[in-house]
Structure 1
Amino acid sequence: MTAIPRSRRDVLRWAAAIAALGATTPLLPACSSTPIATTATSAGPARRGGRLRVGLVGGSGKDSVDAHAPVTHPDEARVMQLYDTLAAYDADFQIQLALAEEITPSADARTWTIRLRQGLEFHNGKAVTADDVAYSLRRITDPKDPKSGAAGLSSVDPNGITIVDPRTVKLVLKAPDAVLLDQLAQYYNGIVPVGYDPKQPVGAGPFTFGSFQPGQQSVFARHANYWRQGEPYVDEVVIIDFPDDTARVNALLGGQVDAIDQLPLGQISVVKAAAGLRVLESETGAWLPFTMRVDRPPFNDPRVRQAFRLIVDREQMVRQVLGGHGTVGNDLYGRFDHCYAADLPQRKQDIAKARDLLRQAGKENLTVELVTASVAAGLVEAAQVFANQAKAAGVTVNVRKVDSGEFYGDNYLKWDFAQDFWFSRGYLPQTAQGSAPDSPYNETHWADPKFLDLLKQARATVDEAKRCALLAQAQKIEYESGGYIVWGFPNQVDAYSIKVNGFVPDKGGIPLTSYGFRRAWLSS
């Protein structure tokens, strides 16, 4: 299968392939005839059967199995078992075709044609057709109930979706969209059948729905007619929610689960020393930002936001919070994006300047509350280290730790000063998720008009060099006055039993090889 270098993570190289389009050359070539590689390791060829038990961080009574509305890690893992997308990212952060055998844009990226593989089947035995693709896109972008991918797919015109034949859909967009393929590959844009009901979830993913207890566990059975050759290997997957880090690690050490995500960095040596366990570490573009609401005091004053970014000692954060398992950040996300603004000066701690900015803003001896939760490895520790660093600037940070249910409850996206976690994304796809007024997770309430205009222009620009020039301007604006503090990019660290095979490092930042349980198999 031919990959497109992703610059979105290299930004889908921001449609670098579109530049080579010619007239109607497929952006991703047809590959239904290409064999899908099966997993094999030193343990021998992959074998079928068994039950894979996985412990994941977070979860609450608000957990979901909706294909288009995942929020927490367990939500994301469930979505990746039940549903498949038209295209998907591999472990090297390249886009590969999935349910689609061909995705072809016009030369101006205004019209896109999607052709499905032959013989695709939903869990209920129904064939996956063009009608289902059209239904899924309309469900995601429904203005009355927009889903997680709606902002990223805002160029899709529901009235411009045409069924060409049972396996082919044509999209005539509202405006040219050079990075539409990147959105079609997002895990929260899975294809569901016409009339889909999330209370009785049916998808075309590797596992079928068994049972679901929000905040506790969910069970999935092997999809016998899954389209990927030989996959999945295990008969059943059990996903167990573990809001508590200690309980999750102990479950692995005690053999109650076969794998866990988000291994606390302080426990790496413990797991490495334990017989029969392995640590899986991946360098990623994932990030754990501090989020400042730009529409409420004190962060509605850009001088305060600038001061807080200068308070952070990023090297110390990476050393102390991540134990060196990560990379220093520069208040920008999308580090694997081909258009990433690597030329902006690396921001360093400057307490004197931070104090001066706070004085200018009339915020000397400022006291703020920082809301945190154990929803990602290192989050709480980062809050504590930042609070200690802030003392030097005369700022008192009162850290308030809440449980995952409260963190993602009614006040989620409303906290004045908080944290969050994000997986690797290219710059434009990430802005669609969190940095625009119509983003589903605009936790900073960022809405800069010039910034938004640059994004709009960039998204419609097919020429990569011109698009990167526009994005360089947008990134500089967010770097200087946005609501995020991006102090670093943590490595993804997970752990699993040696009897589990098929997990490999993954640049995407999603734990356990992007929750790729379809590839996992158990040694005898």
Structure 2
Amino acid sequence: MNDERFPGLRRRGFLAATTGAATALALTGCGGSGETATSDGAPRRGGRLRAAFAGGGASETLDPHLASLFADAARAKALFDKLADYGADLSARPRLAERWESNKTLDRWQVTLRKAVFHDGKPVTAEDVLYSYRRIADPQQAFRAKASLEPIDLDASRATGERTIEFVLKRPTAEFPNVLAAFGAYIVPENATEFDDRPIGSGPFRFVSFAPGRSAVLRRFDDHWDGAPLLDEIEFVVANEESARVSALLGGQVEYAHELNPTTARAHEGGGQIEIVRLRNSAMQAFCMKTDRAPFDDKRVREAFFLIADRQELVDGALSGAGEVGNDLFGKGYEYYAADLPQRTQDLDRARALLKQAGAENLKVTLDTSAVAAGFTEAAGIFRDQAAKAGVTIDVRMGSKDSYWSDILDGGTLCCYRSGAMPVEAHISQRLLTDSTTNATKWRHKDFDALYQQAQSTRDRTERAAVYGRMQRRLYTEGGFLVWGFADWIIGTSRTVRGVEKKAPANTLDWARFDRVWLA
């Protein structure tokens, strides 16, 4: 299953980087060397920032089309550019694409590139874009953005000028800019195949060195189209254990530590030694009900489970309070999210009545979980106790961390689930259509599919939003995702670090935006 990879759900996918490999801290240079901030705090150039991430061991690569870990994505973002990226509300924002425009039927899009150059001084051209997308779409490869590019007919698409491309689509796609912003859809030079020795991109930093599983050093690219970074260099170092990342940060060996747990955050927040940054709404937390099999093929049972959940207790217990309650819909705070629906709360009496109507009194069900993601086992235990109050017996079954996501895609009836940031539209298309490849709830309704196609064929944004609203009201009433919370993603920095964006969920444009960071 890849529903944390896209950031779908994969053990080592986005928002699923786990500990396990031996910790390796390959630290060189001194953070804060060179110019620092002025006396009035204004940003200035200078210094090397050292950032600690969980890594992937000796198999790590700088191939941006293979990026799956947070560390991979952060390095790729520094070295390469995409045509677009996601803003804090998960709407597409132009990057290498200066602008885009569709025809009336939304099945052809003209994209104009801005004037940008690769690290070797060659211009970024339409042919580079087409080569990159065709490489990603290669059926013999497992590149992460392949599914996202599926709407494009790459055989029919063509360069209409050095910096203009006509994308021919297989069907009307109003949200085509989301395709350009897809995770992993980086632009590389035409014919590039090797990336670990001396990769060439058009990103804000250029390659210096790379030791897989240990470190990567990148240097400021002065000719970047969006302006040169303030830092002289950035070094990505690998520390798989959270305790190692925290120790390195406290000891001054790194200035940035990714993926801290809530307990660490509470211990240091406001303490003065390090800064804690919380990226809100970064990970949906849910229970996934299979709607094609008993007992969840009865929508009354699904509604009962919605009403069994005490969401605040789950956030407090499973996330240690580092998040906020959900309302059985993906994408809180994102573009098109149906924020007008009433917040669902626990109602055990109504839940019991629904179960009785469905002939499901004294229901027994198995809940699959695993230590594959933080809070999963805790959430399973809490929900088991909540369900008991409604007369439901839940048997918690522990699964393998290595195979959990593939096991629960088609197997079982109820499981723990989470997902990182992605557009509401992408969540629907990848997980909730009859032919979606990661349809973990087995939600298959032709009328729902038709609504999605209607939205994608609607040019007017307000009208399109209304269609997405109808779809979400249906999911809120009878869908298979019991979305109980949205977790913060937590980062720690030294007090010398400035410019870290605090409002962008993980996986968006301003996450790991090291070209905007400086050292005081």
Instruction: Bin the TM-score by the shorter chain.
Output: 0.7 to 0.9
1:329 to 2:326 alignment: yes
Query: Is the alpha carbon distance of 1:338 and 1:411 closer, same or farther for their aligned partners in structure 2, counting shifts above 3 Å?
Result: closer
Q: Which whole-Å deviations, capped at 9, do the CAs of 1:318-341 have from their partners, x for residues lacking one? A: 344445543321111133345333
Q: Decide whether the 8 Å contact of 2:325 with 2:486 is kept in 1.
A: yes
The alpha carbon displacement at 1:462 in A equals 0.6
Equivalent residue for 2:174, pick from 178, 181, 186: 178
Matches within 5 A, 1:210-249: 210-211=209-210, 213=212, 216-222=213-219, 224=221, 225-231=223-229, 233-242=231-240, 244-249=241-246
1:456 to 2:453 alignment: yes
| Residues in 1 aligned to 2:271 and 2:498: alpha-carbon distance in whole angstroms | 18
The alpha carbon displacement at 1:268 in A equals 2.2
The alpha carbon displacement at 1:124 in A equals 5.3
- Farther off after superposition, 74-83 or 130-139: 74-83
| Residues in 1 aligned to 2:466 and 2:89: alpha-carbon distance in whole angstroms | 26
- Corresponding residue number in structure 1 for 2:345: 348
The alpha carbon displacement at 1:505 in A equals 1.0
Aligned residue identity for 2:129: V
SS at structure 1 position matched to 2:332: coil
The alpha carbon displacement at 1:513 in A equals 4.3
Query: Is the alpha carbon distance of 1:385 and 1:204 closer, same or farther for their aligned partners in structure 2, counting shifts above 3 Å?
Result: farther
Q: Decide whether the 8 Å contact of 2:309 with 2:346 is kept in 1.
A: yes
The alpha carbon displacement at 1:366 in A equals 1.3
- Corresponding residue number in structure 2 for 1:486: 483
- Corresponding residue number in structure 1 for 2:381: 384
Matches within 5 A, 1:119-138: 119-121=116-118, 123=119, 126-138=122-134
1:166 to 2:162 alignment: yes
SS at structure 1 position matched to 2:193: coil
Query: Is the alpha carbon distance of 1:512 and 1:53 closer, same or farther for their aligned partners in structure 2, counting shifts above 3 Å?
Result: farther
The alpha carbon displacement at 1:496 in A equals 0.9
Q: Which whole-Å deviations, capped at 9, do the CAs of 1:150-203 have from their partners, x for residues lacking one? A: 444433221331111221111232333221113312332221233343664553
Aligned residue identity for 1:458: A
Q: Which whole-Å deviations, capped at 9, do the CAs of 1:224-274 have from their partners, x for residues lacking one? A: 3433312262413214252x4444434433444322233322222311254
1:76 to 2:76 alignment: no
SS at structure 2 position matched to 1:134: helix
1:521 to 2:518 alignment: yes
Aligned residue identity for 1:116: L
Aligned residue identity for 2:256: A
SS at structure 2 position matched to 1:262: strand
1:477 to 2:474 alignment: yes
Normalising by structure 1, we get a TM-score of 0.79
The alpha carbon displacement at 1:42 in A equals 5.7
Q: Decide whether the 8 Å contact of 1:261 with 1:512 is kept in 2.
A: no
Equivalent residue for 1:195, pick from 191, 196, 210: 191
- Corresponding residue number in structure 2 for 1:3: none
- Farther off after superposition, 303-312 or 125-134: 303-312
1:465 to 2:462 alignment: yes
| Residues in 2 aligned to 1:132 and 1:395: alpha-carbon distance in whole angstroms | 57
Aligned residue identity for 1:519: R
- Corresponding residue number in structure 2 for 1:369: 367
| Residues in 2 aligned to 1:419 and 1:62: alpha-carbon distance in whole angstroms | 29
SS at structure 2 position matched to 1:160: coil
| Residues in 2 aligned to 1:241 and 1:446: alpha-carbon distance in whole angstroms | 39
Query: Is the alpha carbon distance of 1:239 and 1:384 closer, same or farther for their aligned partners in structure 2, counting shifts above 3 Å?
Result: farther
Task: Give the count of matched residue pairs.
Answer: 477
- Corresponding residue number in structure 2 for 1:28: none
1:446 to 2:418 alignment: no
Query: Is the alpha carbon distance of 1:247 and 1:298 closer, same or farther for their aligned partners in structure 2, counting shifts above 3 Å?
Result: farther
Query: Is the alpha carbon distance of 1:462 and 1:92 closer, same or farther for their aligned partners in structure 2, counting shifts above 3 Å?
Result: closer
Query: Is the alpha carbon distance of 1:40 and 1:63 closer, same or farther for their aligned partners in structure 2, counting shifts above 3 Å?
Result: farther
Q: Decide whether the 8 Å contact of 1:110 with 1:172 is kept in 2.
A: yes
Query: Is the alpha carbon distance of 1:383 and 1:302 closer, same or farther for their aligned partners in structure 2, counting shifts above 3 Å?
Result: same
1:117 to 2:117 alignment: no
Normalising by structure 2, we get a TM-score of 0.79
The alpha carbon displacement at 1:65 in A equals 4.7
SS at structure 2 position matched to 1:491: strand
Q: Decide whether the 8 Å contact of 1:93 with 1:507 is kept in 2.
A: no
Q: Which whole-Å deviations, capped at 9, do the CAs of 1:27-74 have from their partners, x for residues lacking one? A: xxxxxxxxxxxx999644222231412234x75787665434544433
Aligned residue identity for 2:210: S
Structure 1 residue runs of 5 or longer lacking an equivalent are 1-38
Equivalent residue for 1:46, pick from 27, 44, 47: 44
The alpha carbon displacement at 1:439 in A equals 4.3
Query: Is the alpha carbon distance of 1:413 and 1:77 closer, same or farther for their aligned partners in structure 2, counting shifts above 3 Å?
Result: farther
| Residues in 2 aligned to 1:166 and 1:343: alpha-carbon distance in whole angstroms | 46
Structure 2 residue runs of 5 or longer lacking an equivalent are 1-36
- Corresponding residue number in structure 2 for 1:15: none
SS at structure 1 position matched to 2:381: helix
Matches within 5 A, 1:232-271: 233-242=231-240, 244-271=241-268
- Corresponding residue number in structure 2 for 1:317: 314
Q: Decide whether the 8 Å contact of 2:88 with 2:503 is kept in 1.
A: yes
- Corresponding residue number in structure 1 for 2:305: 308
Aligned residue identity for 2:128: D
Query: Is the alpha carbon distance of 1:127 and 1:502 closer, same or farther for their aligned partners in structure 2, counting shifts above 3 Å?
Result: same
- Corresponding residue number in structure 2 for 1:508: 505
Matches within 5 A, 1:278-293: 278-284=275-281, 286-293=283-290
Q: What is the CA RMSD across the aligned residues, in angstroms?
A: 3.4
Q: Decide whether the 8 Å contact of 1:152 with 1:432 is kept in 2.
A: no
| Residues in 2 aligned to 1:60 and 1:352: alpha-carbon distance in whole angstroms | 51
Q: Decide whether the 8 Å contact of 2:136 with 2:146 is kept in 1.
A: yes
Aligned residue identity for 2:44: A
| Residues in 1 aligned to 2:38 and 2:438: alpha-carbon distance in whole angstroms | 39
The alpha carbon displacement at 1:86 in A equals 0.9
SS at structure 2 position matched to 1:316: helix
Query: Is the alpha carbon distance of 1:380 and 1:478 closer, same or farther for their aligned partners in structure 2, counting shifts above 3 Å?
Result: same
